[in-house]
Amino acid sequence: MIRRAARRTGLFCLALFLVACAWEFYKVIGPEDGGSVFGIRMIPKASNRAMPHTWDILQRLGEPENRAGGDPIWVAVAGYAWYTFRLSLVGLVLGIGVGTGLAVLMTRFRFAERGLLPWIIMSQTVPLIALAPQVVSWSGRIDIFGWEWPRWASVCVLAAFLAFFPVAVGTLRGLKSAPAASLELMDSYAASWTRTLFKLRFPAAVPHIVPSLKLAATLSVVGVIVAEISTGIRGGIGRAVLSYQQASTGDPTKVYAAVLGAAALGLLLFGLVVLIDVLLMRNRPQENPA
Amino acid sequence: MTAVVIKDVSKVFNVGKPNYVDALVDIDLTIEPGEFVSLIGPSGCGKSTLLRLIANLIEPTVGSVLVNGKPAAQARLDQDYGMAFQHAGLFDWRSVEKNVELPLELKGWDKARRRARAQEMLELVKLPEFARHMPWQLSGGMQQRVAIARALASHPPLLLMDEPFGALDEMTREHMQSELLQICASTETTVVFVTHSIPEAAYLSDRVVVMSPRPGQITEIIDVDLGSGRNEDTREADAFYDSITAIREALRGIGHAEIRGGMDDR
């Protein structure tokens, strides 16, 4: 178990190193000012401004956020990432709740499945950027028993809007995967629908739910970052990407610090789900590669 | 009190639709406590349907089913029977003992009592040392034994089995048959047993109910006179072969009727 984890970590580092090599290799062979294919600018610029050296990016992590000085930039980025991580977590939990609830409803009532499923699929064709301003405008307008709707809650809702989908679809499939003979067995025990749900359907659904959670975790992070950027909410990594980008003419490596932060936070949330996976699947027959 | 009384039962699937099926017609059958009764017949003769009617997993279209002197629906609520299917159908995520405990859990027994009973049942099916194993670590025969332990966990007076040894190899199958007889003798359980196999029906049963398809009917009930205390020697006794011949001829009668019916249609 530990040996396998060590090997995986090793492979991950190797993959990271190879990506860095590819990056540097392109900088050697790529045209400084990019190029066009059939009149469309498709070949990326290899200049130091567009593609800084990997070691410059790493070095920048240790330097202060602003010219004025202070803590190194990675401390600031870690703070933003932590903020975004918390929002993603709330979004993920919200998405899992809504997705699971919908799946249970669709399993219980046939008409609910026929009525809801098309809407659930259609919901994912609405671009998040179009939806973001609407949801953000809830703040200041919604007041739940004295609890004023904060802007960060809108960001969580947008993340949940992406995250609920794989959970709903995966859990629905899982809940329906309980074998007919097992359902008959529960029937012969005169077990109620709810008891059958918790004793049979949910445990039988776990192998379907776990991969959907992995998708939901990454989608939640994407949702929060996109929502942060399109609503301009402060404090998170999305805003950092935006403002560092604006500084890129004078400080091209700065934005990559934020990008690395976003990647790290995505990995963190994914790791959390893998941990849940290992816990839930520890007594199952099939090997489930993470 | 009789174990099972089936009176004038018919079952039609898809009533009033073009694809309706007369699954069972005019079934009358009474089973005494402690009896071992097999249902045998070609595919589609409704033997599994009959078993499910006794289990109250489906309702008869007409007629009544009494189990333990009560309507079948009440008997199901009271868990008066245990059930075993062709595939053991153990829950992958539960250990062997937790699988056996499942019906007791649903009855609301406390943990200590459940544990003790599960241990007792696993000793009965000779698997006490596998209590903590997961089902997928066991062979097919062992899984089926756990399923029997689960079916008998609440000490029901009636055991309903739907081709429980159908997926096992011949050697394991014969071994399981002997064990099932021992278990039923020691627990005084009544058994209704659905099977495809003539020797299996002959070896296990006190009575063999022969059924014919389209529509599902009982054509003959054959008494098997092998006495109690059957063992591996029984399989070589003349009386065993006589019973096999009797069942085979009853089944062949159905075959002839079907062929003749087919020719009449032309």
Residue B184 near residue B29, CB atoms below 8 Å: no
Half-sphere exposure of B6 (CA within 13 A, CB side): 24
Residues in chain A: 290
Q: Does residue B53 form part of some domain? A: yes
Angle between helix axes A254-281 and A73-108 (nearest 10 degrees) is 40
Which residue from B57, B79, B102 is facing A184, i.e. has the nearest CB?
B57
pLDDT digits (tens, 9 = 90+) for A163-174: 999 999 999 999
* CATH number for the domain harbouring residue B236: 3.40.50.300
Of B41, B65, B45, B64, whose CA–CA distance to B55 is shortest? B65
User: What are the structure tokens assigned to B220, written together?
Assistant: 């003959």
How far does B199 lie from chain A, in Å, by closest CA? 26
pLDDT of res. A221: 92
Chain A partners within 8 Å of B136 (Cβ): 285
DSSP state of B15: T
pLDDT classification of B262: cutoffs 50, 70, 90: very low
ipTM over 0.85: no
Q: Does residue B87 form part of some domain? A: no
pLDDT classification of A8: cutoffs 50, 70, 90: confident
Which residue from B55, B87, B94 is facing A188, i.e. has the nearest CB?
B55
pLDDT of res. A286: 58
Chain B partners within 8 Å of A200 (Cβ): 91
pLDDT digits (tens, 9 = 90+) for A138-181: 776 777 777 777 788 888 999 999 999 999 999 999 999 999 88
CA torsion sign for B184, B189, B193, B198 is positive
Q: What is the span of the domain harbouring residue B59? A: 4-80+156-265
Chain A partners within 8 Å of B83 (Cβ): 184-185, 188
pLDDT digits (tens, 9 = 90+) for A213-226: 999 999 999 999 98
Indicate which of A189, A281, A288 best probes the interface with B, i.e. most B CBs within 10 Å of its own CB: A189
Chain B partners within 8 Å of A195 (Cβ): 106
Any A CB within 8 A of B53 CB: no
* Phi, psi (deg, nearest 5) at residue A243: -75, -35
Which residue from A187, A190, A284 is facing B92, i.e. has the nearest CB?
A284
Share of chain B above pLDDT 90, in %: 27
Q: Per the CB < 8 Å rule, is B77 touching A190?
A: yes
CATH number for the domain whose boundaries are A53-280: 1.10.3720.10
pLDDT digits (tens, 9 = 90+) for B178-231: 888 888 888 888 999 999 888 899 889 889 999 988 788 888 888 888 777 777
Chain B partners within 8 Å of A187 (Cβ): 57
Number of domains in chain B: 1
Q: Does residue B137 form part of some domain? A: no
Overall average pLDDT of the B126-135 stretch: 90
Residue B108 near residue A190, CB atoms below 8 Å: no
Domain ranges of chain A: 1-51, 53-280
Q: 């600031």: which residue's tokens? A: A76
**Cβ contacts of residue A262 below 8 Å, gap of 6+?**
A81, A84, A221, A225, A237, A241
Of A78, A92, A119, whose CA–CA distance to A213 is shortest? A92
Q: Does residue B114 form part of some domain? A: no
Residue B82 near residue B153, CB atoms below 8 Å: yes
Q: Does residue B256 form part of some domain? A: yes
